[in-house]
Amino acid sequence: MMDLQEAILARHSVRDFRSDPVPRELTERLIHAASAAPSSMNEQPWTFYCCEGATRARLGKIVAQTTIHLSEYMEVLGPQRYEEAVEWFTSLGNAPLLIAFASPNPDSELTAINRHLSLGAALENLLLTVTAEGLAACSFTLSYWVREEIAELLGLPSEQSVVTIVAVGYAGDAPAVVSPKRADTAVWLD
């Protein structure tokens, strides 16, 4: 397994996966890493829904409905990025494992901020562990109009909502597109 700094620098979003299943014990390590994240007041406001097989296929079909509304973004994305987005949301890169992150619905703006920060920490733990374990992943948000269908499929309690989904698997043959990272993100003050 690679060390933390290597994983941080090597991590990038992958949108093309092989069909090989992710072994259960490896998925359990990913979830354990996500669960070890810090959270506000140690609330641990997360439940991770690991979807494989038939459930993964049904979740993929629900998420694919997102493509219906992508045409609204044609001007912003441009033709090539639009086609890439349609292809991605239609297949989710054929990832064999989808992990949905759910959280209790917040009752205030402060609670929402704290929970989203906590979920972000859990997501980063998972993504870094994915990289360190030799897997690939892509996290994505989803159209709000399919949230209820997703909640029903996953059997979410009414007080929870899905916040993000992560496609996980072994990287496919498509070349990785690694976007450059900005270096001018810190402001130094004395």
CATH number, residue 143: 3.40.109.10
| DSSP assignment letter at 36 | T
- Any domain includes 4: no
pLDDT band, residue 41 (cuts 50/70/90): very high
Asked whether residue 141 carries a pLDDT value surpassing 90, the answer given is: no
Residue 39 and residue 186: Cα distance in Å, rounded? 24
Task: Please state, for a pLDDT cut of 70, what percent of the chain lies above it.
Answer: 94
Per the domain annotation, does 184 fall within a domain? no
Domain around 46: 14-169
The number of folded domains in the chain is: 1
pLDDT, averaged across the chain: 90
Q: How many CB atoms lie within 10 A of CB 118?
A: 21
CA distance linking residue 93 with residue 115, whole number of Å: 28
Residue 74 lies in a domain: yes
Task: Please indicate, yes or no, if residue 31 is contained in any of the structural domains.
Answer: yes
Q: With 70 as the cut, is the pLDDT of residue 158 above it?
A: yes
**Which of 175, 147, 166 is closest to 66 using CA atoms?**
147
